[in-house]
Amino acid sequence: MNKVLFLFFSVFLFTVNISAQKQIEFARKLKKQFPKDKVIITNSKVVVEFDYNSKYGIFAREKIEENFMTLEKNIEFIYPIFYSDDVEIDDFDTGPHSRVKKDEYYTSNGIFHDDIKVKYSHFKIPFFSGESHLKAELKYTNVRYIPNVYFSKPYRILEKEIQFVIPEYMDIDLILLNTENYDVIISELFEKKNRIVTYKIKNLKSMSKDEELPGKSYLYPHIFIHVKSYTSDGKKIKVFETTADLYNWYSDLVSETEYENETEELEALVNSLIKPDLTDIEKIQRIFYWVQDNIRYIAFEDGLAGFQPASCQKVLNNRYGDCKGMANLTKEMLVIAGFDARLAWLGTRRIAYDYSVPSLAVDNHMICALLYNNEILYLDATEKYSKLGEYAERIQNRNVLIQNGDSYLLETIPESAPDQNKQNYTMNLTLGEDMLIEGDLVVELASESRAQLMNLMSSIPEKEWEKAIKYYLRSGNDLVSVTDVKLPDLSRDQKYEFSGNLSFTDKISTFDNEAYLYLDPFTFFSGYKLDEDREFALWFSYKKDIELNISLKIPDEWEIVSLPESFTVDNEEFYFSTNTYFDNNDINYTMSGKIPKAVISGYNITTWNDAIVQLIQNYEQPIILRKK
């Protein structure tokens, strides 16, 4: 008997050892193939099942199974699952090396995210080729809130399967997006009165860690779930079959809020802001700017169930609100003032969809639309320090769904020209006999470039403003002295201009009778060379239009030996130009930089990098002077 047991355990241990060795060899092979990866998902399966019961009506279950393998030692990572009040987590099981599980409301950058919660597990795997897994089951009690399903994850996936089980009484479209670079195997069968659709992809890249990316709906393969309708007791019940269905659902939510709106306190506020002698535009500005300045924007634009605005008195009393609450307050105040103001829904720039396919995935933002003088003005009070009639890049050229009683208006928010965000820098300098360069710098900012700095100024104590402007004027260079600072006026409708006197010696070096001068203190865009292996576009927060003009008066005893060559690159997505010339004892330097679409496409990255390298080389060319 002992010999039999010994033989059994010997075979068992030998088998385990062989299996472990194969696992290590497999991990080594993967590490060789993907040397930058630290964790890999060997297989991932998601099953989405739709069903009906008397408690929820139509609902959905999402079952997730994923297996991880480490390709380095001592690897830690966190696996989060986001959900909301309309989503229940029925199962959350993690395998070996899972140290912590947490379930809490989600915050980011100190901002509380309404009803969004996160449940996550902290994995800590000490050895190479270590394995673990996660299993989770989510229940979407309101099928309207089911999100689109993505194939990609933060880690590479060797094999991915997504399956949908759809009862025959449901009308659902599954729209496959961003799969051009993958071979997707799709199968469909009918079983037990269900339509079962399965998608399989192998070797999925991990989600990019690059900064300033487009929204993920532009980038990664996923399935857009369009729940159109279902049949119950022989009756067809629409969910979001048409845009009108989506609008009606929104309208019902808004009607509940409008019923709760109390206007007595609000009327007193509006009457204190507007006076009879003001023009209509001035009245609109007073109200719009008051909401911007006095209501703190605290929410995030991607709340799953956050489609119902808070009542105007709640936002007013709290002095904070999300985009919906701020839009509702703005609308109500304008209505009290006698204007035709309405709520409007839209998806910001980071969302790739429009209203051609109605879904909650299309929207992530709410603003106020004002019908005035045969045009529509869009008022987004979450954009602090924005002027009436100026629109942030994130909402420009976006479809917008506007209240119109039982129907709706579908419009497009105008796109602004790049020069709306003009940044002008003008320097008049003098080179002294002691090689000290001094003079004044005047900066003028407009639209989003202005609002960006105004937001920064408002976030710090007023006593720190001069210090902040000095830092800006000297481009963070501690070797530059700044005096006589003129602070900007924080009024939106005034010219946003500030200035100071600069003096510095670090931009000039002398050797015998020659001096080498580097005149540009800003070197705009020099830090924008991208990684060579970057795959996706670079998105700027807004269109760029920068102009720098420098005039340097030099003493009579100096003459020009050489000036940097002029440089110009003109691409459909970017423009750079520098020019240095001598005129009437003045050295003049101009630099112009434009990003007219606020984007550098993926196909253009190599060309962009080449241009940045050339621009830097141009910045590094000195002006050479010689004593006569």
Task: Give the model's pLDDT for residue 105.
Answer: 56
Residue with the bigger pLDDT between 18 and 410: it is 410
pLDDT at 3 over 60: no
Q: Which helix (H) or strand (E) holds 198?
A: strand 194-204
Q: Report the alpha-carbon distance of residue 110 to residue 459 in Å, rounded.
A: 14
Q: Report the alpha-carbon distance of residue 23 to residue 127 in Å, rounded.
A: 12
Q: What is the pLDDT of residues 445-468, one digit of tens each?
A: 999 999 988 888 888 998 999 999
Q: Report the alpha-carbon distance of residue 67 to residue 152 in Å, rounded.
A: 14
State both tokens at 519. 């005149």
Task: Give the model's pLDDT for residue 291.
Answer: 97
Q: What is the largest CA-CA distance in the chain?
A: 109
Written as one string, the DSSP assignment of 540-573 is -SS-EEEEEEEEEE--TTEEEEE-PPPEEEE-SS
Q: What is the pLDDT of residues 465-500, one digit of tens each?
A: 999 999 999 888 888 899 999 988 877 877 789 999
Task: Give the model's pLDDT for residue 278.
Answer: 95
Q: Give 404's pLDDT tier (boundaries 50, 70, 90).
A: very high
Q: What is the pLDDT of residues 509-529, one digit of tens each?
A: 988 889 999 999 999 999 999
Contact 441, 499 (CB under 8 A): yes
Q: What is the mean pLDDT of residues 250-255?
A: 89
DSSP at 174: E
Q: Report the alpha-carbon distance of residue 3 to residue 5 in Å, rounded.
A: 5
Encode 283-323 in three state secondary structure. Answer: HHHHHHHHHHHHCEECCCCCCCCCCCCCCHHHHHHHCEECH
Give 274's contacts (C-beta < 8 A, 6+ positions apart): 282, 283, 286, 287, 337
DSSP at 394: G
Give 467's contacts (C-beta < 8 A, 6+ positions apart): none
Contact 48, 146 (CB under 8 A): yes
Q: Report the alpha-carbon distance of residue 261 to residue 460 in Å, rounded.
A: 34
Q: Report the alpha-carbon distance of residue 355 to residue 346 in Å, rounded.
A: 9
CA distances from 121 to 135, 350, 482 (A): 11, 28, 51
Contact 113, 105 (CB under 8 A): yes
Q: Give 12's pLDDT tier (boundaries 50, 70, 90).
A: very low
State both tokens at 370. 């004002």
Q: Report the alpha-carbon distance of residue 393 to residue 414 in Å, rounded.
A: 10
Task: Give the model's pLDDT for residue 494.
Answer: 75
Task: Give the model's pLDDT for residue 71.
Answer: 96
pLDDT at 330 over 60: yes
pLDDT at 163 over 90: yes
- The count of residues in the chain is 628
Phi, psi of 331 (to 5 degrees): -60, -50
Q: Give 18's pLDDT tier (boundaries 50, 70, 90).
A: low
Contact 143, 50 (CB under 8 A): yes
Task: Give the model's pLDDT for residue 104.
Answer: 63
Q: Report the alpha-carbon distance of residue 579 to residue 589 in Å, rounded.
A: 6
Task: Give the model's pLDDT for residue 265.
Answer: 84
Burial of 288 (0-12, 13-18, 19+ CB in 10 A): buried
Q: Report the alpha-carbon distance of residue 302 to residue 361 in Å, rounded.
A: 9
| Three-state secondary structure call for residue 149 | strand
Contact 210, 220 (CB under 8 A): no
Q: Across the chain, what does the average pLDDT equal?
A: 90
Strand partners, 136: 64, 92
State both tokens at 319. 């002095």
Give 496's contacts (C-beta < 8 A, 6+ positions apart): 444, 445, 446, 450, 453, 454, 488, 489
Q: Report the alpha-carbon distance of residue 7 to residue 116 in Å, rounded.
A: 56
Burial of 572 (0-12, 13-18, 19+ CB in 10 A): exposed
In sequence order, what E strands does 5-95 have?
A: 39-53, 57-70, 75-83, 87-94
Percent of the chain with pLDDT over 90: 71
Contact 492, 289 (CB under 8 A): yes
Range in 22-36, 296-310, 537-551 the model is least confident about = 296-310
Pairing of strands 437-445, 496-504: antiparallel
Amino acid at 457: M
Q: What is the mean pLDDT of residues 175-194?
A: 95
Task: Give the model's pLDDT for residue 118.
Answer: 81
Q: Give 114's pLDDT tier (boundaries 50, 70, 90).
A: low
Can you give the pTM of this predicted structure? Answer: 0.90
Contact 132, 155 (CB under 8 A): no
pLDDT at 101 over 80: no
Contact 333, 366 (CB under 8 A): no
Q: Report the alpha-carbon distance of residue 20 to residue 384 in Å, rounded.
A: 58
Range in 13-22, 125-134, 346-355 the model is least confident about = 13-22
Q: What is the mean pLDDT of residues 144-160?
A: 95
CA-nearest of 393, 37, 382 to 212 is 393
Q: Give 603's pLDDT tier (boundaries 50, 70, 90).
A: very high
